[in-house]
């Protein structure tokens, strides 16, 4: 069971959008896919026409129940475990639980680890959080979306030095693939950021995604852009990124 984590030190960069869309793309590439929402915005479900009252990671976590019981099948063929709509207090309680029970998260994932044709997609909150302590070293691949702006360029060296990951000395070190998101080719700054990112990141740049109204419209229709606008620029971009993720995982 490979684990692909979507994380970044900054919010609003496209983690949830890319996690959902890459999940659908990997399904189409032959994987069975389980997408897990670890962010209290509980937004991953919004791409899959799912109700907001579903139980999820943040419900009854002290009961140590089997996560297979809370996974739901979405119309897109991806299985999903929502975070759950819970108040802020429960978020803190969950983090307290994670701190006091090291290994708890990995134990929840252990029954899935045997399934070689299953890929788990983790949509993580803005890092670092207690979730990163367990998942950063456990993930096979980290996909880190960045916006095509000057701030992203400024943080790139620190990202590359691994300062934002809590993977410790995990061997083998997880692979990190960057995505420059919301690229508007009409803007000089976007073109410059993309060109510089290509130079700096080389093969670690998994791809770029155009700023595409279809992405925002798809979310409004509770779909991923692959289903909403399959011929759009963003669909092609994200499919190509999914191919990179697919190539970095063990064969199905
Ligand atoms: N390539 C894109 N083109 C247009 N809108 C995008 C694109 N990527 C993300 N968005 C929009 O940007 C917003 C933030 O994305 P989201 O995936 O929620 O970020 P995060 O999970 O990192 O906080 C959402 O409204 C989403 O629809
Ligand atoms: Mg998100």
Query: 154-201 pLDDT, tens per residue?
Result: 999 999 998 888 888 888 888 999 999 999 999 999 999 999 999 999
CA of 180 to the centre of ligand 1 (A): 12
At residue 135, does pLDDT exceed 90? yes
Task: Kindly give the number of the ligand 1 atom that is closest to the alpha carbon of 17.
Answer: 17
CA of 224 to the centre of ligand 2 (A): 14
Sheet (strand 141-147) strand order: 72-73, 79-81, 32-37, 118-123, 3-6, 141-147, 175-183, 205-210
Helix (H, G, I), strand (E, B) or coil at 5: strand
CA of 142 to the centre of ligand 2 (A): 15
Does the Cβ of 102 fall within 6 Å of ligand 1? no
Kindly state the DSSP code that residue 60 receives in the 8-state scheme. S
At 250, the pLDDT band (50, 70, 90 cuts) reads: low
Does the Cβ of 14 fall within 6 Å of ligand 1? yes
Torsion of CA 22, 28, 29, 30, to 10 degrees: 120
Task: Kindly give the number of the ligand 1 atom that is closest to the alpha carbon of 213.
Answer: 4
Residue located nearest, by CA, to atom 9 of ligand 1 = 14
At residue 252, does pLDDT exceed 60? no
Mean pLDDT of 70-99: 96
Task: Kindly give the number of the ligand 1 atom that is closest to the alpha carbon of 212.
Answer: 3
- Beta-bridge partners for 5: 122, 142
Rg of the chain in Å (alpha carbons): 17
Does the Cβ of 182 fall within 6 Å of ligand 1? yes
- B/e letters for 148-159, b = 16+ CB within 10 Å, e = fewer, are beeebbebbeeb
Q: Are 78 and 48 in contact (CB under 8 A)?
A: yes
Q: Could you tell me which of 251, 1, 244 has the C-alpha nearest to residue 122? A: 1
pTM greater than 0.95: yes
Task: Kindly give the number of the ligand 1 atom that is closest to the alpha carbon of 211.
Answer: 3
Task: Kindly give the number of the ligand 1 atom that is closest to the alpha carbon of 234.
Answer: 1
Q: What is the share, in percent, of the chain residues with pLDDT greater than 90?
A: 85
Q: Which fold has domain 3-248?
A: Rossmann fold (3.40.50)
Which residue from 216, 229, 232 has its CB within 8 A of the most atoms of ligand 1, so it is best to mutate?
A: 216
**What pLDDT shows up at residue 134?**
92
pLDDT, mean over the chain: 94
Q: Looking at the CA of 10, which ligand is closest?
A: 1
Helix 88-100 with 104-113: angle, nearest 10 deg: 80
Mean pLDDT of 14-23: 98
Q: Are 145 and 181 in contact (CB under 8 A)?
A: yes
**What pLDDT shows up at residue 25?**
98
Cis peptide before 128 (omega within 30 of 0): yes
Does the Cβ of 212 fall within 6 Å of ligand 1? yes
Helix (H, G, I), strand (E, B) or coil at 128: coil
Q: Can you tell me the distance from the alpha carbon of 21 to that of 229, in angstroms, rounded to the nearest whole number?
A: 12
**What pLDDT shows up at residue 251?**
61
At residue 52, does pLDDT exceed 90? no
**What pLDDT shows up at residue 215?**
98
- The structural domains of the chain, with segments of one domain joined by +, span 3-248
**DSSP assignments along 201-237, one per residue:** HGGGEEEEEE--HHHHHHHHTTS-HHHH-TTSHHHHH
Q: Can you tell me the distance from the alpha carbon of 12 to that of 249, in angstroms, rounded to the nearest whole number?
A: 27
CA of 215 to the centre of ligand 1 (A): 7
**DSSP strand pairing (72-73 vs 79-81):** antiparallel
CA of 65 to the centre of ligand 1 (A): 32
Q: Can you tell me the distance from the alpha carbon of 67 to that of 146, in angstroms, rounded to the nearest whole number?
A: 30
CA of 69 to the centre of ligand 2 (A): 24
């Amino acid at each position: 069971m490979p684990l692909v984590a979507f994380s970044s030190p900054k919010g609003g960069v496209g983690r949830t959008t890319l996690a959902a869309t890459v999940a659908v793309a990997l399904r189409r590439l032959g994987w069975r896919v389980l997408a897990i929402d670890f962010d209290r915005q509980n937004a991953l479900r919004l791409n899959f026409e799912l109700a907001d009252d579903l139980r999820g990671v943040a419900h009854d976590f002290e009961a140590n129940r089997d996560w297979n019981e809370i996974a739901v099948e979405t119309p897109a063929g991806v299985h999903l475990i929502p975070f759950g709509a819970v108040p802020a207090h429960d978020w803190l309680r969950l983090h307290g639980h994670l701190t006091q029970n090291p290994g708890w998260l990995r134990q929840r994932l252990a029954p899935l680890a045997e399934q070689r044709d299953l890929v788990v997609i983790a949509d993580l909150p803005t890092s670092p959080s207690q979730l990163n302590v367990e998942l950063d070293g456990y993930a096979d691949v980290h996909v880190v979306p960045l916006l095509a702006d000057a701030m992203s360029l400024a943080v790139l060296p620190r990202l590359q030095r691994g300062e934002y990951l809590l993977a410790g000395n995990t061997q083998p070190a997880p692979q990190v693939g960057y995505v420059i998101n919301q690229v508007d080719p009409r803007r000089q700054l976007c073109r410059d950021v993309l060109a510089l990112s290509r130079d700096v990141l080389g093969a670690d740049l998994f791809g770029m995604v155009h700023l595409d109204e279809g992405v925002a419209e798809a979310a409004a229709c509770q779909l991923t852009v692959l289903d909403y606008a399959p011929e759009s620029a963003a669909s092609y971009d994200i499919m190509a990124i999914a191919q990179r993720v697919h190539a970095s995982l063990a064969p199905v």
